[in-house]
């Protein structure tokens, strides 16, 4: 293996990135300048990456770097996004969100964890390896989107371009899980949570019409009551729980880390998926969301005056679709549960759940090897993500998609994502660089 010198100054470089307010949801107010400046900044901070890798731009915001490898084997794709979510002006940050302050061994600011921290550790590893003359065993693509947070088209187009060119990635790695403490309340120790799938989402509008009139002599079933009844019928039991393979694997990994009665309990659950589905569904909240499609009524409307029965009413329902189901099957189930032909169901938007990536393949093993180098003793644990990532666009044509940023995130830090005082430790950035370097060096 080549000797690699790690360039110092990662915190300063991340600070420069944080100082560019690439807020995709505020594009109209802020303009494209921060995004263009970000592209220039990469060229300035990563001169070897910029000159030795080929850069293609797809849409105004998608960057695709191509690093030619030593063989024609299917490539590795490392993904991240450089846009960030807005900051609530009324929030009180310890350090201003776009100052890029470095203090107490951390870099503070919007995007340090989501997703400029995960992005910079990719670039650092590539730049350090290029400086040593390293050539990867297979082609490597760096795919950086500038509108992930607004469900923009950059990653869609990059995935489409690859597909058109007949490129089938061997491994795709994007944001998602992280190295976390106490992944479940009854599990001790650290774990590297690796997303092997992500749920789908569909938003439905339920609407009903009925006879309007004066509120003093109401008919039995008004439009408002129809909608209320329909929403009520969509209780948590609407969808049957089912345990994804990844969750059984997760529980099995945790059982080895646990002690006392929870060790036995986890072992039993890991071997009896049917039981896990029942137990997690009964727990409600996050455990329930892991094993089934969830339904949440988010908006309801109808009526304009306190004493008039409205002739129409509606409700908006947001579903997160479990792996193995589909938008169509979910809508069909909602229709059956509502049992009312006079309630119209309209699909406002939908995206399918991803398939589940394997954990017994060479790709997952490689992630484990790189973890062993950068985070000794931390095990890779598969799970299913509730949120959507850009990597879902690749799932249509490549089976090995994983969602993991090689950074340590405490529970408080995870809560700061999209929140207040987002920050990343400098020491974990260094480990993140080591993870990607190990991954690239061990590609075969």
Binding region for Zn ion (CB under 5 A): 114-115, 175
β partners of residue 403: 174, 195
Q: Are 140 and 75 in contact (CB under 8 A)?
A: yes
Nearest to Zn ion of 139, 421 (CB atom): 421
Shortest distance, CB of residue 24 to Zn ion, whole angstroms?
11
Q: Environment class of residue 4 by beta-carbon count within 10 Å: exposed (0-12), middle (13-18) or buried (19+)?
A: middle
Give the residue with the Cβ less far from Zn ion, 115 or 157. 115
CB of 92 to Zn ion, least distance (A): 23
Minimum distance of Zn ion from residue 237's CB (angstroms): 32
C-alpha gyration radius of the chain: 24
Q: Minimum Å distance from CB 241 to Zn ion? A: 28
423 and 107 in contact (C-beta within 8 Å)?
yes
The Cα 222–Cα 211 span in angstroms is: 7
Provide CB contacts within 8 A for 360, sequence distance 6+: none
Buried b (16+ CB within 10 A) or exposed e, 206-245: bbbbbeeeeeeeeeeebbbbbbbebbeebeeebbebbbbb
Residue 115, preceding peptide bond in cis (omega within 30° of 0): yes
Q: How far is CA 109 from CA 94, 278, 297, 429, in A?
A: 10, 41, 33, 15
Residues listed for the chain: 444
Q: Which one, 172 or 206, has the nearer CB to Zn ion? A: 172
Please, what is the minimum distance in Å from the beta carbon of residue 66 to Zn ion? 23
The enclosing H or E element of 291 equals: helix 285-291
DSSP H/E element including 189 = none
Nearer to Zn ion, 114 or 425 (CB): 114
Least Å from the CB of residue 195 to Zn ion: 12
CA distance linking residue 362 with residue 151, whole number of Å = 31
Find the shortest distance in angstroms from Cβ 197 to Zn ion: 17
CB of 355 to Zn ion, least distance (A): 21
Choice between 174 and 325, CB closer to Zn ion: 174
Q: Considering beta carbons, is residue 114 or 408 the nearer one to Zn ion?
A: 114
Contacts of residue 444, Cβ cutoff 8 Å, sequence gap at least 6: 137
Determine contact, residues 109/101, Cβ cutoff 8 Å. yes
Q: Shortest approach of Zn ion to residue 51 CB, angstroms?
A: 28
- Toward Zn ion, which CB reaches closer, 114 or 422? 114
d(CA 100, CA 107): 6
Cβ proximity of 6 and 126 under 8 Å: no
Q: Which is nearer to Zn ion, 13 or 81 (CB)?
A: 81
Residue 298, SS3? Answer: strand
* Beta carbon of residue 63, minimum distance to Zn ion (angstroms, whole number): 16
**Nearest-angstrom CA–CA distance, 377 and 189:** 10
Least distance in angstroms from the C-beta of 394 to Zn ion: 16
Number of Cα atoms under 13 Å in the Cβ half of residue 319: 36
Between residues 115 and 408, which has the closer beta carbon with respect to Zn ion? Answer: 115
277/385 with CB nearer Zn ion: 385
Do the beta carbons of residue 16 and residue 45 sit within 8 Å? yes
Which CB sits closer to Zn ion, 115 or 127?
Answer: 115
């Amino acid at each position: 293996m080549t000797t690699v010198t790690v360039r110092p100054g990662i915190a300063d470089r991340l600070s420069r990135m944080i100082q560019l307010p690439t807020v995709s949801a505020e594009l109209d107010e802020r303009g494209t300048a921060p995004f263009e400046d970000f592209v220039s900044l990469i060229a300035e901070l990563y001169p070897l990456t910029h000159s030795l890798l080929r850069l293609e731009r797809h849409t105004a915001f998608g960057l695709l770097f191509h690093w030619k490898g030593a063989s024609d084997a299917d490539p590795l794709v490392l993904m991240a996004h450089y846009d960030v979510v807005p900051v609530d002006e009324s929030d009180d940050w310890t350090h201003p969100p776009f100052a890029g302050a470095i203090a107490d061994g951390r870099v503070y600011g919007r995007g340090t964890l989501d997703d400029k921290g995960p992005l910079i550790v990719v670039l650092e590893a590539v730049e350090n390896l290029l400086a040593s003359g390293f050539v990867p065993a297979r082609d490597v693509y760096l795919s950086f989107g500038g509108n992930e947070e607004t469900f923009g088209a950059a990653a869609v187009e990059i995935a489409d371009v690859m597909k058109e060119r007949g490129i089938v990635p061997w491994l795709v790695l994007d944001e998602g899980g992280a190295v976390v403490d106490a992944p479940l309340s009854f599990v001790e120790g650290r774990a590297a949570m690796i997303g092997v799938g992500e749920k789908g989402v569909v938003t439905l509008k339920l609407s009903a019409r009925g006879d309007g009139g004066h509120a003093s002599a109401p008919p039995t079933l008004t439009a408002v009551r129809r909608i209320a009844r329909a929403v009520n019928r969509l209780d948590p039991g609407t969808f049957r729980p089912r345990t994804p393979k990844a969750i059984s694997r997760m529980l099995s990994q945790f059982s080895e880390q646990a002690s006392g009665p929870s060790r036995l309990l986890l072992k039993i659950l890991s071997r009896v998926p049917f039981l896990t589905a029942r137990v997690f569904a009964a727990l409600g909240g996050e455990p329930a969301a892991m094993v089934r499609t969830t339904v949440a009524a988010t908006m309801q409307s109808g009526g304009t005056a306190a004493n008039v029965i409205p002739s129409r009413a509606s409700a908006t329902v947001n579903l997160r679709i479990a792996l193995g189901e589909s938008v169509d099957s979910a809508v069909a189930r909602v229709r059956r549960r509502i049992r009312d032909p006079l309630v119209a169901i309209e699909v406002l938007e939908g995206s399918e759940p991803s398939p589940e990536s394997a954990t017994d393949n060479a790709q997952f093993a490689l992630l484990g090897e790189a973890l062993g180098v950068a985070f000794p003793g931390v095990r890779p644990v598969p799970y299913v993500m509730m949120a959507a990532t850009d990597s879902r666009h690749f799932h249509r044509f490549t089976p090995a998609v994983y969602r993991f940023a090689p950074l340590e995130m405490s529970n408080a830090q995870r809560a700061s994502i999209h929140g207040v005082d987002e920050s990343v430790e400098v020491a974990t950035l260094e480990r993140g660089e080591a993870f990607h370097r190990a991954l690239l060096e061990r590609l075969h």
